[in-house]
């Protein structure tokens, strides 16, 4: 049933690739359910760590590699606002004024989308076939929210998940303190910021915390777990794809052997 | 800014995080300032259009700054005032000291001025036998404590009421020890009473300026306490200290900018007092200073005009960026170690004291983008912080650990096949070790994270490895 006009190259993101592949498979399911054919070209990272550390040369080298790897596809979709923001907003910045690369970066940016925004804004997906019994709260990751305008789309689709009640936390749009390399360079400040976020999450009484970026999710899950707060943490793609049977982030798999 | 502690940002931040009283005081910024701005911005449907217009006015002015400075100077002279250009902070200090001496000044009253903080004016006057008296309540409090402002519009926002009460009791020893200072208004009344005598005794009044208007040669100050008016009208001489980017072409332009200034700053539609001064007292005026001087400071700004940081010169010093900054909320303004804290300071300070001194400031940002989202003149603050990081990287000023880590990571990332093999191995290994708990309480090389947070164990094979296996099976 794949529409030849919707060949999607999945930019899986380095964190999903390494830490939580199930988010990638959830993204594939959502895209395939919406009629896309999905391919995964060989990839590593979007180059954001270099870009945000001031190493423009490495960032450009990585960007060139990504643009070339995804050239065959009609769309590039990433289950992350941060990485999609890098591809869509910052790649064109990196090549500004370069007669060879700027047009390629612009064309690449035009076909690149954050997963949930792609489903809703491009494909017109209005509902998903998934269920989750319980109350959830949604954190707006910064890049998705402010660089790509991802705010209503995930809430709209989450609203169609059977059994799921969405309860907004205070300051849902305030940073969780992850910030990529920031959390390693300034761990104490990062911890203070995520401490407030964890408190806001807990205050909702929700059983499930959802967001669209694995970096933020790992940060918030790590804090909630260290503080002994019993909140499950999952990527929005897992919930929308109905793939919540497996363990949540940072939770051990049920062991079947004796 | 000789005493900048920006190089010690990390230590400053650590101390700030452990300071319970500071953390308590900072909630005011995080909660009240944000909510108030939201409320007034929501009430004004054209607010975003006004921000565009404010940005455009500032861009236009900066593009023709030489012309507007000349026009402004001509108008000030025509009104009977004087204009002095100060290329450096030292020049500005010298000019102001000379002026004060020429008026035989023993005490000077001061309106709130960040530029005066930038040039370290108070210390310089004091060292030369002239007593500067801050008349803005917040500035008065931090002067009593010999501190820098911790916020550009609320200099004492790092203090609780109890701390201020203790300072007043310590300093105002001429007042009865058993007086009641429980209500915040009683602190205000006490400061007013103390300051009233100073206003009357001052020989010179020094104010900053929110705007300098080229069309009319007018300086404009915006306050909530009226202290600026008394500062500039009661003494025999008024000195305005302002930096070059305060210029706007016309009165109409100023009124446009005024519509976004207070809303972005304190969440007021207008500040309580907006005062326009044009030249000294004229024969028909019932009062006012007989001498009017404007000191226009450059201090590195003209060199920003042609470069990556030009947009920073649009800043109207509202403080919205720090009011909305999660890092500022966590550590407060003093941690930045220089007079301009928060995101605007992270961009401006390296221009003033050098990226080698201020390198931490543009690095200590999560790039959440909330500052740019609320900036009334739409300054791309995160982008400019990144530009500073690029300068730092180019000059090999970034820490060795960062450079080494990036170098290693860059080697693998640019070789996706090798990267795939390495990450596949790492994922399997970590998954195996972390299988029992699903997460790590400690990880080598990640102790900054794991000291206060768990780290999730990878699920097992990487996505790309699984995808490849799945595709071959299909």
How many whole angstroms separate alpha carbon B150 and alpha carbon B148?
6
For range A172-193, the mean pLDDT:
96
Fold annotation for A126-240: Rossmann fold (3.40.50)
Which residues are registered as beta bridge partners of B73? none
- The residue among B269, B303, B337 that closes a domain is B303
Strand order in the sheet with B247-248: B247-248, B211-213, B218-223, B273-277
In the predicted model, is pLDDT for residue A210 greater than 60?
yes
Rounded-to-integer distance, Cα B139 and Cα A100, Å: 55
Q: Which residues of A touch B435 (CB under 8 A)?
A: 252-253
- Assess A190–B contact: CB distance below 8 Å, yes or no: yes
Cβ of residue A15 closer than 8 Å to a chain B Cβ? no
Give which of B38, B387, B456 to mutate to test A binding, by max A Cβ within 10 Å: B456
Provide the 3-class DSSP secondary structure of residue B113: coil
More confident residue, B319 or B287: B319
Q: Percent of chain A, pLDDT > 90?
A: 95
B424 shares a domain with B297: no
pLDDT at A2 over 50: no
| Residue B474 reports pLDDT greater than 70 | no
How many residue contacts between A and B have a Cβ separation below 8 Å?
208
Q: What is the mean pLDDT of residues B338-356?
A: 96
Average pLDDT over chain A, rounded to an integer: 96
The confidence score (pLDDT) of residue A128 equals 98
pLDDT (0 to 100) of residue B304:
94
Q: Is the pLDDT confidence value at B2 over 50?
A: no
Domain assignment present for residue B283? The answer is yes
Tally the residues of chain A. Answer: 258
User: What mean pLDDT is predicted for residues B432-454?
Assistant: 92
Of all residues in chain B, the one with the smallest CA distance to A21 is: B463
CA distance B236 to B205: 8
Q: Cβ–Cβ of B370/A183 closer than 8 Å?
A: no
B347 in a domain, yes or no? no
Point out the domain boundary residue: B275, B303, B331: B303
Q: Which residue has the tokens 């709260």?
A: A137
CA distance B14 to chain A (A): 7
The rounded distance, in Å, linking the Cα atoms of B77 and A110 is 55
For chain A, give every domain's residue range: 7-121, 126-240
- The closest CB to that of B366, out of A47, A69, A182, belongs to A182
Residue ranges of E strands in chain A: 7-10, 37-39, 75-78, 112-114, 131-138, 162-166, 208-211, 232-235
- pLDDT exceeds cutoff 90 at B402: no
In this predicted structure, the answer to whether residue A256 has a pLDDT above a threshold of 60 is no
Looking at residues B84-97, what average pLDDT do you find? 98
Does the pLDDT at position A1 exceed 60? Answer: no
Average pLDDT along chain B: 95
If one compares B360 and B472, the residue with the highest pLDDT of the two is B360
Range of weakest confidence among A40-49, A247-256, B14-23, B220-229 = A247-256
Q: What backbone torsions phi and psi does residue A160 show, to the nearest 5 degrees?
A: -100, 5
User: What number is the average pLDDT over the span A234-249?
Assistant: 98
> How far does A111 lie from chain B, in Å, by closest CA?
22
In a domain, B26, yes or no: yes
In percent, how much of chain B has pLDDT > 70?
99
Question: Which chain A residue shows the shortest CA-CA distance from B388?
Answer: A54
Q: Residue B1 — very low, low, confident or very high, per pLDDT cuts 50/70/90?
A: very low
Q: What CA–CA distance (Å, rounded) separates A11 from A8?
A: 9
Euclidean distance between CA atoms B166 and B180, whole angstroms: 12
> Cα–Cα distance between A48 and A41 in angstroms, integer?
19
How far apart, in Å, are the Cα atoms of B433 and each of A253, B137, B443?
13, 59, 11
- Tell whether A71 is within 8 A of chain B (Cβ): no
| Structural domain boundaries enclosing B156 | 6-303
- Residue B413: its chain A contacts at CB < 8 A? 44-45, 47, 50, 58, 62
Q: Residues 6 or more apart from B284 whose CB is under 8 A from it?
A: none
Domain membership of residue B340 (yes or no) is no
Does A184 lie at the interface with B, CB-CB under 8 angstroms? yes
Contacts of A251 in chain B (CB under 8 A): 438-439
Tell me, what's the pLDDT at B318?
98
pLDDT of B246: 98
DSSP string, B281-341: --TT-SS--SEEEEEEE-TTHHHHTTSTTGGGGG-----HHHHT-HHHHHH-SGGG-SSS-
Let me know if residue B246 belongs to a domain: yes
pLDDT at A60: 97
Q: Which of A189, A201, A215 to probe the B interface (max B CBs under 10 A)?
A: A189
Check residue A254 and give its pLDDT.
78
- Give the mean model confidence (pLDDT) for residues A169-186: 96
pLDDT tens, position by position, B406-422: 999 999 999 999 999 99
Q: How remote is the C-alpha of B367 from its chain's centroid?
A: 17
CB atoms B467 and A24 under 8 Å: yes
- Show residues of chain B in contact with A20, CB under 8 Å: 456, 458-459
Query: Can you tell me the distance from the alpha carbon of A48 to that of A89, in angstroms, rounded to the nearest whole number?
Result: 12
Res A4 pLDDT > 70: no
Look at chain B and report how many structural domains it folds into.
2
For B285-292, what is the mean pLDDT? Answer: 95
CB atoms B463 and A182 under 8 Å:
no
Give the domain-ending residue among B303, B318, B333: B303
- The pLDDT, as a whole number, for residue B472 is 84
CA-nearest residue of chain B to A222?
B454
B444: pLDDT confidence band, cut at 50, 70 and 90? Answer: confident
Chain B nearest CA to A135, separation (Å): 23
Residue pLDDT, tens place only, A50-81 = 999 999 999 999 999 999 999 999 999 999 99
B440 has which bridge partners? B455
CB of A178 less than 8 A from some CB of B? yes
pLDDT in tens, B158-199: 999 999 999 999 999 999 999 999 888 999 999 999 999 999
pLDDT digits (tens, 9 = 90+) for A124-149: 999 999 999 999 999 999 999 999 99
Query: Residue B334: inside a domain, yes or no?
Result: no
pLDDT (mean) for A110-119: 98
Find the CB nearest A19 among B329, B451, B456: B456
Mean pLDDT (whole number) for B321-326: 98
Tokens 């359910």 identify what position?
A: A33
Given a contact cutoff of 8 angstroms between Cβ atoms, the answer to whether B157 and B29 are in contact is yes
Predicted local confidence at residue A258, as pLDDT: 46
Q: Is residue B253 part of a domain?
A: yes
């Amino acid at each position: 049933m794949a529409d030849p006009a919707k060949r999607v190259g999945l930019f899986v993101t380095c964190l999903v690739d390494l830490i939580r592949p199930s988010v990638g498979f959830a993204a594939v399911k959502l895209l395939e359910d919406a009629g896309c054919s999905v391919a995964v070209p060989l990839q590593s990272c979007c180059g954001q760590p270099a870009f945000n550390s001031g190493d423009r040369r490495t960032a450009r080298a990585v960007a060139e590699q990504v643009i070339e790897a995804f050239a065959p596809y009609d769309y590039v979709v990433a289950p992350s606002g941060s990485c999609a923001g890098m591809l869509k907003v910052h790649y064109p910045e990196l090549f500004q004024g370069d007669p060879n690369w700027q047009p390629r970066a612009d064309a690449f940016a035009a076909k690149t989308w954050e997963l949930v925004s792609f489903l809703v804004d491009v494909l017109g997906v209005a509902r998903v076939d998934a269920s989750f019994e319980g109350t959830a709260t949604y954190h707006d990751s910064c890049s998705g929210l402010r660089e790509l305008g991802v705010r209503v789309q995930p809430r709209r689709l989450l609203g169609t998940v059977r059994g799921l009640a969405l309860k907004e936390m205070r300051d849902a749009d305030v940073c969780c303190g992850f910030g990529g390399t920031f959390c390693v360079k300034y761990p104490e400040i990062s911890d203070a910021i995520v401490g407030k976020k964890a408190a806001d999450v807990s205050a909702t009484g929700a059983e499930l915390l959802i967001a669209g970026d694995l970096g933020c999710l790992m940060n918030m899950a790590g804090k909630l777990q260290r503080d002994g707060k019993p909140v499950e943490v999952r990527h929005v793609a897992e919930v929308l794809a109905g793939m919540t049977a497996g363990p949540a982030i940072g939770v051990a798999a049920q062991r079947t052997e004796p | 800014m000789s005493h900048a502690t920006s190089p010690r940002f990390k230590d400053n931040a650590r101390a700030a995080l452990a300071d319970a009283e500071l953390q308590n005081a900072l909630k005011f910024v995080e909660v009240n300032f944000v909510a108030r701005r939201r409320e007034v911005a929501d009430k004004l449907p054209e607010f975003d259009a006004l921000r565009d217009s404010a940005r455009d006015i500032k861009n236009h002015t900066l593009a023709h700054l030489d012309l507007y400075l000349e026009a402004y100077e001509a108008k000030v002279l025509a009104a009977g005032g004087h204009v002095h250009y100060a290329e450096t902070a030292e020049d500005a200090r010298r000019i102001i000291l000379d002026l004060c001496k020429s008026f035989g000044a023993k005490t000077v009253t001061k309106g709130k001025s960040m530029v005066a903080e930038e040039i370290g004016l108070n210390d310089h006057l004091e060292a030369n036998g002239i007593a500067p008296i801050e008349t803005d309540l917040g500035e008065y409090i931090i002067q009593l404590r010999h501190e820098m402002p911790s916020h550009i519009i609320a200099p004492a926002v790092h203090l609780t009421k109890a701390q201020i009460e203790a300072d007043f009791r310590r300093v105002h020893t001429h007042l009865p020890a058993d007086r009641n200072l429980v209500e915040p208004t009683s602190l205000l009344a006490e400061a007013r009473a103390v300051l009233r005598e100073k206003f009357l005794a001052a020989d010179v009044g020094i104010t900053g300026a929110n705007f300098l208007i080229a069309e009319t040669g007018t300086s404009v100050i915006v306050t909530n306490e009226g202290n600026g008016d008394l500062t500039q009208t009661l003494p025999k001489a008024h000195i305005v200290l302002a930096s070059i980017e305060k210029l706007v072409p016309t009165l109409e332009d100023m009124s446009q900018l005024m519509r976004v200034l207070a809303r972005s700053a304190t969440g007021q539609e207008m500040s309580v007092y907006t005062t326009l001064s044009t030249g000294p007292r004229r024969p028909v005026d019932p009062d006012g200073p007989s001498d009017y001087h404007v000191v226009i400071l450059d201090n590195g700004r003209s060199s920003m005009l042609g470069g990556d940081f030009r947009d920073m010169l649009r800043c109207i010093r509202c403080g919205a960026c720090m009011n909305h900054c999660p890092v500022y909320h966590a550590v407060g303004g003093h941690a930045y170690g220089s007079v301009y804290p928060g995101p605007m300071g992270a961009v401006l300070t390296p221009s003033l004291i050098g990226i080698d001194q201020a390198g931490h400031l543009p690095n200590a940002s999560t790039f959440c983008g909330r500052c740019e989202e609320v900036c009334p003149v739409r300054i791309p603050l995160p982008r400019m912080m990144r530009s500073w990081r690029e300068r730092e990287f180019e000059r090999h000023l970034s820490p060795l650990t960062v450079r080494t880590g990036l170098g290693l990571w860059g080697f693998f990332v640019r070789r996706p096949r090798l990267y795939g093999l390495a990450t596949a191995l790492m994922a399997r290994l970590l998954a195996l070790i972390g299988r029992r708990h699903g997460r790590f309480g400690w990880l080598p090389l990640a102790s900054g994270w794991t000291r206060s947070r768990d780290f999730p164990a990878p699920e097992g094979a990487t996505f790309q490895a699984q995808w490849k296996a799945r595709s071959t099976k299909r």
